[in-house]
A and B are shown apart, each in its own frame.
Chain A
């Protein structure tokens, strides 16, 4: 073994993080701190930089300025293994549902025997036993997203990023995803999720990050965000007006 693994990666701190692409600033410098076991929802109009911010936090993109700092000086490998991301359109491999979960565990270096056990447990947790051996890509949209959640669950992440995970789903599937969010939360996973759905944010969030045009306009506890937002733009957004 190399150095001892830190107890927790969180809080995650962003300092002066910005992102420029081809001369355009897509994300203006922002500071952000994500605490342990929080449920943070990122809201804002299309193109506000919600997905970009999450991809930077998750490490899929490197910021062009500023630093992303995890607690405890963990190795990049540990940081990668302690987080997971669920995308708006789940990317599933061309194999069975169960094999998808096992593949993810294998990718993270989980020993083979434990892989099977953890995969079965995740499949069961999300009620996917009946379709565990069906090819993942012929499942319905809702089942696919549940499988993506089960895959993330098997990885036991400390922080889970979700990029509009319910945008393409029907109400029943949305409900399943929201229940999954609670399940993750009860197990101590920090949730960072973007959504366009005001009702969903009200139901799920502890606090809300509000972005407009790549600028962090406001971060407030959920009640304050909906009832007494500090910024005029957030007030307009909550009313359902166009804000850009």
Chain B
């Protein structure tokens, strides 16, 4: 075991090309997924917070429920859509990084939308009369609300990133864990552990752990400093 740890740190220190490639792809996939999911989910969360419409309650319940969507189920859903026989099979996206991005978007979009809905609804309750008094419409209020909730929303987006980068099930199913193409940190750890290649598995595990810890630390610090500085 000691040897495995030493070997793992050596891989990290020497920037082992296989390890670097896997880490890079992981970050690319998860960051892209977070970016796309946020671009859709933040305005969506704001819209649900600001407007009353039939089925709003149901939509909120569904979003909240999907926050806990098991990654393998998200993976399965996207797999069925993208597989040869599926509705989007023509595109030939299965077992590509794009498919992994789609699966992760499906996974984190409900999280970002549901949490940002809560954040913005609370802020709207506070700002509503003042903004109305200034003649700001609901639609016009969205940029103000998104900006003023920026620190809370950063935490929300980081939560989405943490979830995306740490899950195995979805990317494994739609990506296929193909060496050099769709192999990311989590799927590699699972595979290399089975193969007995502990140094690489451990090395990736350490990086993943540090990454997730960093994301959480940043989220915490952003929240705290915002509370202290902006009240």
Find A137's partner among B135, B136, B144, B231 (CB 8 Å cutoff): B231
B129 touches A60 (CB 8 A): yes
A91 touches B231 (CB 8 A): no
Q: Is the interface of B mostly helix, strand, loop or mixed?
A: helix
In the complex, which range does the number of interface residues on chain B fall in?
10 to 19
Interface residues of A in 187-228 (CB under 8 A from B): none
B229 touches A135 (CB 8 A): yes
**Docked pose: A77 CA to B137 CA in angstroms:** 11
A232 at the interface (CB under 8 A from B): no
Known: A60-B133, A84-B133, A87-B129. A107 touches B140 (CB 8 A): yes
Residue of A nearest to B228 (CB): A138
What's the nearest-Cβ distance from chain B to residue A145, in Å?
13
Q: Count the A residues whose beta carbon is within 8 Å of the partner chain — how many? A: 21
A104 touches B134 (CB 8 A): yes
| Complex contacts, A93 vs chain B, CB 8 Å | 127, 144, 148
A69 at the interface (CB under 8 A from B): no
In the complex, besides A107-B136, A108-B134, A135-B231, 15 extra interface pairs with C-beta distance below 8 angstroms are A55-B129, A77-B135, A87-B129, A87-B130, A91-B126, A91-B129, A91-B130, A93-B144, A94-B148, A94-B231, A95-B147, A103-B144, A135-B230, A138-B231, A155-B134
What's the nearest-Cβ distance from chain B to residue A75, in Å?
12
B36 at the interface (CB under 8 A from A): no
B133 touches A94 (CB 8 A): no
Interface residues of B in 94-142 (CB under 8 A from A): 126-127, 129-136, 140
Interface residues of B in 37-63 (CB under 8 A from A): none
A58 at the interface (CB under 8 A from B): yes
